[in-house]
Amino acid sequence: MKRLDVIDGLRGYFLVFMLINHLAFDGGYWLVEINHRQLAFVEDAQGFVFLSGLLVGLVYAARMERLGFAATARTIWRRAGDLYRRTLLLLAFAMTMVLLVPAAQLAWVDWIGDLDWRNPVRMASAALLLFQPTYMDILPQYIVYMLAAPFLVRACLAQRWPEVLIGSLLLWLAAQFAIQRPVTAALNTWLAGDSGHGLRVNFNLMAWQVVFTFGLVFGVLTATNRIDWTRVFRSDDRLVPLAALSVCLFFLPFRFATAHDSMPIDMLGPFQSYENRSEFGLVYFLNFAAAASGIAWLLVAGPGHASRRVRAFAALLSRLFRLPFLRLLGRHSLQVYVWHVVIVYLVRFVDFETPKFGQPLKTAIALGCIALLALPALYRERARLFGRLGPGARQA
């Protein structure tokens, strides 16, 4: 199995489950409960951001070595500009719907607040990425990371990747102590004015950059043959799989307790101080590191393990991430992500305007939406599908 096929399949997998998790039906629906996040503090956004950083490192390291910093940086920054334009289109879509169909404001009020064409202050703060409507908030952080990516890739190529990792960890640690709060609190007060809606950012960029940066560093090291993953993840090594499994099992009862509101109150407060998703708190950091290491070990070393059960499970994962549908989504993941936001908003509007759906209909709608996810990818690969050109361009 090709390395990039695995990454594409994983990104497609995360996109499917992001859609399932983001579809909002009155009364909820059962399909959302079938998810890996029910077993650990690991979510699709973390995997999506990590794999995006990994692919940036894999794709642009070789390009920078061949073409130099300036040419590569222009390519990456054009990518960031394209994403910014797509973000503006999403904002325009939401505001136009609110203008033409006033009921959309009621359906989406928890997601977009007072965002409206007739509210220039809110429009400006949204255009500056300071007011981020729900589910449109991964794109702004990715834009910022892409602006920094050329400098990080260059540093890694200059053998300064340890400093990059240390700096990333320090920045994450600083976010855990909220050193940005004096600035963000003042900005929030200034933007809020009389409306009560100020700074709206679901992901702390200082904290979540650690996921992207580690992925980017690993990607550069892989692209330049400075790391051999078959030596890092060996089939005869018990430490990595046992450590990964132990961390996940340790947090499993905590995940069940918090998901079902059954954690004792004396434990809840201390635990929540480490479980802040927006700040990518220590609980999420440890769980993601363990899950990522475990999956990587299974994909790399699992096929050669002595245990038949381990080999079978590794083969199952490989087949899952080799599914053509998932790889199709992953090859065009950012366009698909933008389209998924439109789907989620439209489904929420329809659900708000119609009588309550039953579980079978909710499930059918969700499955139909999963199929619709492929439309942007199919459009971008239309030439290949009709046999005129090669495969669609892979994106970072």
Q: What one-character-per-residue DSSP string does 179-218 give?
A: TTHHHHHHHHHHHHTTTT---B-SS-HHHHHHHHHHHHHH
Residue that has been written with the tokens 């479980």 in this structure: 275
pLDDT of residue 396: 59
* pLDDT band at residue 32 using 50, 70 and 90 as cut-offs: confident
pLDDT band with cut points at 50, 70 and 90 for residue 88? very high
Q: What stretches of the chain show up as alpha helix (H) in DSSP?
A: 3-22, 44-67, 69-100, 103-112, 120-127, 138-157, 161-176, 181-192, 205-223, 229-232, 239-259, 265-272, 282-300, 308-321, 324-331, 333-353, 359-372, 375-380, 382-385
pLDDT at 181: 82
Q: How many CA within 13 A on the CB side of residue 29?
A: 24
pLDDT, residue 394, reads 55
pLDDT at 159 over 50: yes
Query: Given pLDDT bands bounded at 50, 70 and 90, which one contains residue 289?
Result: very high
Whether the per-residue pLDDT at 286 is higher than 90: the answer is yes
- Predicted confidence band at 196 (pLDDT cuts at 50, 70, 90)? low
pTM: 0.90
Confidence of residue 390 (pLDDT cuts 50, 70, 90): very low
Place of tokens 């950083």: 53
Closest Cα partner for 84 from 264, 361, 334?
334
For residue 202, the model assigns a pLDDT of 84
Assess whether pLDDT exceeds 60 at residue 324: yes
What's the alpha-carbon Rg for the chain, to the nearest Å? 22
**Segments making up each domain of the chain, as ranges:** 3-385
CB atoms inside a 10 Å sphere around CB 97:
20
The pLDDT score that the predictor gives to residue 194 is 59
What is the pLDDT at residue 186? 79
Residue pLDDT, tens place only, 363-386: 999 999 999 999 999 999 887 777
249 is written with which tokens?
């099992």
For residue 26, give both structure tokens.
Answer: 């009155």
CA 110 to chain centre: 21
Q: How confident is the model at residue 119 (pLDDT cuts 50, 70, 90)?
A: confident
Q: What is the mean pLDDT of residues 154-171?
A: 96
Could you tell me the end-to-end alpha-carbon distance of the chain, in angstroms, rounded to an integer?
A: 19
Quick one: CA torsion of 255, 259, 265, 266, rounded to 10 degrees?
A: 10
